[in-house]
Structure 1
Amino acid sequence: MSVREARVGFFTARGPLRAVDGVSFDLEKGQTLGIVGESGSGKSVLVRSLIGLVGESSGAEVGGQVLFEGRDLRALPAREFRGVLGRDIGVVFQDPMTSLNPVMKIGHQIGEGLRLNRGLDARAAAARAVELLTEVGIPEAERRAGQYPHELSGGMRQRVAIAIAIACAPKLLIADEPTTALDVTVQRQILDLLQREQRERGMAMILITHDLGVAAGRADDIMVMYAGRAVETAKTRELFRSPRMPYTEALLRSLPRLTDPTHTRLSAIPGRPPDLARRSGGCAFAPRCRYRTDRCDEEQPMQTWEGARGYACFHPRGVDVGGSGGAAE
């Protein structure tokens, strides 16, 4: 997938709101892109716009180009686009209790995509649904296939959502906060399951999370979003070793560390994310940034690229910018 200048805007009672503002990225086969940021940074809106779940029908204004295997998804006829989504792109949503149909049995929900996109008859689809439930680690798969979502635990429901997403062997899997509201042990199991399925099937994956710790061991590249913009993009190891953007640095500082003494206070990012309906012309992170200068209040930084690494900041950490205070402390 190749995305260029993706934009999503909404018209609100307080005026236009730019939820996604010129985001670009490339994702290769078999690779994982982690999209990280606080709630409200535009992660889910971005990805939902790429697959047509946010668009004119939902009152949004969408722009930019989305290429999947060389085809512009936004230029495809509706019928062909639906075929791509069901067959080539799978999605795991963050809350399976709302993404699963509460009045449809589990087996039928998994088999529906197989019948529509793979042409399987009802018997074959039901048998394959049971196989998929077993594959994602659900015990007594045949019995579970005849149950409804409310009869399963949260972890099991998320496994069902994964089974639905991978049923048609997609080339791209989008996991939108797949471990929300799950306990830590189940979170690990779900993330391990996603990673295993990706490797066995050779899928590309977009992993959306607000937790850099989750993305650390799962993503090849990380894109950090803030106020609808991609403020830093880098290889995972590079980003953790030497973040450029002060927002990324602040996120890393807020992570708890096993090496810290007992009762060490966590480092919090001061302030709150900006109101996107009342944005100023400067850097959106400036009011919360420890390196803020007058220029940050007046101008919006553009992306600076160092090879495959990009960041949007006038005072990048670890970079000598001619004595302007950009070098790392």
Structure 2
Amino acid sequence: MSTVAAFYPVGTPGQAWGALERAQWLALQQVQRSYAGEVVSKIDALRERFDVSQYGELDYPSGRYPLFAIRSRNWDETLPVMLVTGGVHGYETSGVQGALQFVDQQAQSYAGRCNLLVAPCVSPWGYERIQRWNAEALDPNRSFVANSPAQESAALMALVAPLQGRVLMHIDLHETTDTDETEFRPALAARDGKPFEPGEIPDGFYLVDDTENRQPQFQQAVNAEVAKVTHLAPADERGEIIGSTVVAEGVIEYPLKALGLCASVSGARYTTTTEVYPDSPKATPQQCNDAQVAAVVGALDYALTHN
């Protein structure tokens, strides 16, 4: 476990941020990679095989970012819809690249069996800055709520809204990184004026099920596919992963809708959030992407056979 100082360089300990502190935080965020070069170029390369549409655009003082969705070419209203989302937290690289790799390598094998809708990079501003939050210091993955304050979340909700009741499976691709403990959780505590309480980062892959719609066999099927690619995260000495009770190997649960999490957005029967650990000495960046692809394949195959 990494040890970090309790003090965050923005704000006053014990006081929630106001507009000044948010502006100070924003000034620290620098572009570190290219959404156009690393993401949009790959989406464009898929246009010959899939339908690509722009479903929104982020509008920040630092720039505008088009948001893209990829759909099965021969959309069939009689088939179930399967939703794949990535990059809700922009810094979680394999969520974005894994979604794109899945479309490129695996998606066509599901033609005629289901309708695929993939939003590979929900938060491109965060992708470029390797940042969890958006430009307004909001966490998009706590903002899937009515009248969402986050542009990223509101745009995805609008994309999915016409499909309510028709989505069979939704898998949301994420990572848990060492920087969660060294940067993002301290920032959250500082922003909200709360004390920072150190935690542990699990070494391995795990899933988040929905406490309000438990699907344990679905989660196990996804993990079984992932285990062919990389290792699952063990429980800590308290039988937990990131503070939540482990209910099965590599599985914890959250109340998705109550927390405003992306996996709640579609009302799908089968939902899960993946968590890859890219900082593991036992996993390469490509393995992390492969693990996300394996998770999507496992989720699709289970949903299609248990519809």
Normalised TM-score (structure 2)? 0.32
Larger Rg: 1
Considering Cα pairs closer than 8 Å and 6+ residues apart, tell me whether 1 or 2 has the greater RCO: 2
